[in-house]
Amino acid sequence: SSLLLMSGVVVTVGLGRRLARRRLRSRPLLFAFFVEMFSTFQICACTNELSLLGNVEPKPHTALTLTYGFTVLHGLTLAGSACNPCGTLQPMWSGGTSLRMGGIKIAAQFVAAVLARVFMHFIWSLEMAEPHLGALSQGCSSPMQTTEMQAFCIELLFSVVFQLAVLRAESVNPKYRVHLIALLITMLVYAGGNLTGAIFNPVLAFSLHADCFYDKFLSYSLVYWIAPCLGKFLILYVF
């Protein structure tokens, strides 16, 4: 049921992106907003569902296999979308994207994060699959299983590694690049998923753990918003 749900989200988002291309090409700002919103919605909704499958046996092989598979799927179906404020900062920094366009894309990403959370909570309330049972009663299911400083350093390091890999992989054939990035993300999730969740995406972190941001805003914003953005700026400064 979970796989069918995530596959349905991917198909629906694909149709939405195609419709946006046909109807909004003449309005670039609106087109950019909806394409970025649809794409980020797909990643947030699927990752929300994947987060419930972490305890499926055999552990952690099932969760890591699904992480790799859906990361490849996202890479193949969402080409051209950042789905991450840190990724949007790079063209803004280099002057390839205007401040207005970058702001619209980041706004679209956070709108999508909220919509994905609301949508997935509605689906979970229907309790159509076993992993959905009791999912809404968890509240702040904190991914931070270490000290705040260690979590900050881990997310900062992972962001630097990921952003550097994305830059260095730009010259790789696209059909191989998506697998390299998916493999790297899976390795980072395996290495630090039990400590911080290995998210390194501010929008995704907010969609997954909004309740934790409400309870401990300063702590979570430092680890899951500031650390990834700082990692991106370090890479931009060095390169």
Q: Is the pLDDT of residue 111 over 90?
A: yes
Contacts of 166 (CB under 8 A, 6+ apart): 87, 181
Tell me the residue length of the chain. Answer: 239
Q: Mean pLDDT, to the nearest integer, of 40-62?
A: 88
Percent pLDDT > 70 in the chain is 99
The residue ranges of every structural domain in the chain are: 2-238
Confidence of residue 137 (pLDDT cuts 50, 70, 90): confident
Task: Give the per-residue pLDDT at 52.
Answer: 87
Those residues whose C-beta lies under 8 Å from the C-beta of residue 158, and which sit 6 or more positions away, are 188, 192, 198, 200, 231
pLDDT bin (cut points 50, 70, 90) of residue 43 is: very high
Please tell me which of 87-91, 162-166, 171-175, 186-190 the model is most confident about, judged by mean pLDDT: 186-190
Q: Are 24 and 67 in contact (CB under 8 A)?
A: no
pLDDT band at 96 (very low <50, low <70, confident <90, very high): confident
Q: Mean pLDDT in the chain?
A: 90
User: What's the token pair of residue 30?
Assistant: 């609106």
pLDDT at 139: 66
Least confident residue range of 52-66, 161-175, 184-198 = 52-66
Q: pTM to 2 decimals? A: 0.94
Residue found under tokens 């499926």: 56
CB contact at 8 A, 187 and 142: no
Q: What is the mean pLDDT of residues 71-75?
A: 95
Q: Which CATH superfamily is domain 2-238 in?
A: Glycerol uptake facilitator protein. (1.20.1080.10)
